[in-house]
Structure 1
Amino acid sequence: MPAPQPVTVNGILYQSRLAACRAFGHSGSKIDHRMAAGMSLEEALTSKDRYRNVKKHPLYGHWNAMNTRCHSASESSLRYQGRVAVCERWRNDFFAFVEDMGLPPSANHSIDRIDNDKGYSPENCRWATRLQQQRNMRSNTWIEAFGKRMILKDWEIASGLLSSTIMNRLKKGWSAEDALTKNSRCYVANSQAVILEKCSALLEKY
């Protein structure tokens, strides 16, 4: 076993890293964890206030759930593993996540991946409401018409027609514009002008 090496922290020489840990009131395992997250020994020893009560931080729950979802061995997270990952910057440093994301606009916002084919990273994440996240699900059917692109459910709202009617028409080869503006047996379709007006309001929710 190699002999302990002396270390210098804030200009003071300690006989070993363990001795320095004891002097600062830290356990060796805690310092190992901080250094594994990219901190230097001096940073790990002197950042006591930064990590104190970190679990009470308003973003800790979001950060912990994100990491657990992607990297824990629990059965509930298996569908994410190997497909969705947390970037190294966030996975190893809670405060890097805080710095990049900031606080959510409200209690109704949670973290959302903009591109579902990519993982959690500063460039691919945003704070979004539940409705915004529902519009960003893989299972959504997207339709483009009148120069607008929305999910099928929103085209149902804009056109006044049932989603099933719109989809049946598209499967028969109808253009998107005709599928959204032609009356059905039971429903009168909205005019193009009304549809576009509704689109403007709906697109604000994306």
Structure 2
Amino acid sequence: MWSWLAIGLSGMYSVLGAKQANPTQSLVFKIFTLLLLLILVLTQGPSADHSYWIAGGLVVSMFADTLHSFKTRKLIYFAAYLAAQVCYSKSFWVQLNGDIVWWLLALLLAASIVAFFLLLPQLDSLVFPVVTMGIMLVQLAWAAGEVWLQTPSYANAIGFSGTVIMTYSALAYAIHGFRKPMKRAYVWVSGSYFLAHALIVASIIY
């Protein structure tokens, strides 16, 4: 309980830093929030492959967020975000041991195609990275959804919700940056980003 309270407060301070245009505060508490989640995984998560992949995803996310906050090495931090999603995806894929449900993939692809065409007029040279990120997020949500469908449980539902929210966070970031600035974007983007990580971690704790 206290650990989740600390994680929530740290995330709030990061969001407040973004609101107040204080990038140092936002970055420090963003990294601290992910670090607290990492400690939670290592101390309370099961000793299993999927836990280690989630831990790896958190470590890579901290690295990517640091680079992103300094606005340097765009290719490196983009690759780091993709690597973090690969780690999270692997944590779900290793839990699968049955038949694949294809309708879920079709549903996710349909939603992603609609989102892509909404953003297309503003993307210009960013089409390739956006498509790449979208593919990674779709397969992440698909993997988590497959785990939930194969083994329906509260924990697996939380994990799937986390991946969907992570996809929403990326979409909100893209809409705010490329299509139409959003009011209180720092709340919607940063808040959903932290919530997504927290739910993915919670899925292996409970």
TM tier, smaller: under 0.3
Length-normalised TM-score, structure 1:
0.22
Higher relative contact order (CA 8 A, sep 6+): 2
Query: Could you say which structure has the higher helix fraction?
Result: 2
Query: Could you say which structure has the higher strand fraction?
Result: 1
Length-normalised TM-score, structure 2:
0.22
